[in-house]
Amino acid sequence: IATIIVIVIGCLYGGIAAYIGGVVDEVMMRIVEVLNSIPYLIITLLILVVLGNGYFQLMLALCLTAWTSTARMIRGQILQLRESEYVLAAEALGASPLRIILKHLLPNTIGLIILDVASTIPSVIVSETILSFLGLGLNIPVFSLGSLLSAGQQAMAFYPYQLLFPTVILCLLILSFNVLGDGLRDALDPKLRQ
């Protein structure tokens, strides 16, 4: 759920900044640069300390810190595509901005969006694992890889498999989402379909 929210916020923010351009683009990108200058883990920890532990608080903290890279990528792609000949031809033929966005800009950014989803999911999983391992993520009634790793680390001397299995699962999850994202990007990229 956090990944979907991150992608939607990032796509909307980056798309609006790139399509409007000018002063609005400059101000919006300066806000992104300020947020990027602060390490995301510090912001996430601060939010969790203020709001407390829980699923909603963790999702909110991860969503508020992870959307900036998506916004920058989408903005760059739309700025590049806006100057393409087919977009300029559509504008010259009188196509509405909505039609240009839906028919020309969005289909050509789908590969980038899918690649970003594939890289955002593992980063959200790792962030949640780190926070739960530190005791700031999900509490014990709700199991997560971080809480399993934390429990396995405490019993590592006598039961090393309790640390081994969550570690293997974490690595396989990250690897599978990366491979899935690369495959989907190759399948859906309009440049590769020609």
**Predicted confidence (pLDDT) per residue in 112-122, tens digit:** 888 888 888 88
pLDDT of 189 reads 65
- Contact by Cβ (8 Å): 161, 149: no
Residue 40 φ/ψ region, left for φ over 0, alpha for ψ in the -120 to 50 degree band, beta for the rest = alpha
Instruction: State the Cα–Cα distance between residues 160 and 61, nearest whole angstrom.
Output: 32
Q: CB atoms < 10 A from the CB of 4, how many? A: 12
Is the pLDDT at 193 greater than 70? The verdict is no
Non-local CB neighbours of 5 within 8 Å, separated by 6+ positions: 59, 63, 67
pLDDT of 184 reads 80
Residue 31 confidence class, pLDDT cut points 50, 70, 90: very high
Is the pLDDT at 171 greater than 90? The verdict is yes
Set out the domains of the chain in order of their start, with CATH numbers: 2-193 (1.10.3720.10)
pLDDT of 170 reads 92
Indicate the pTM of the whole model: 0.77
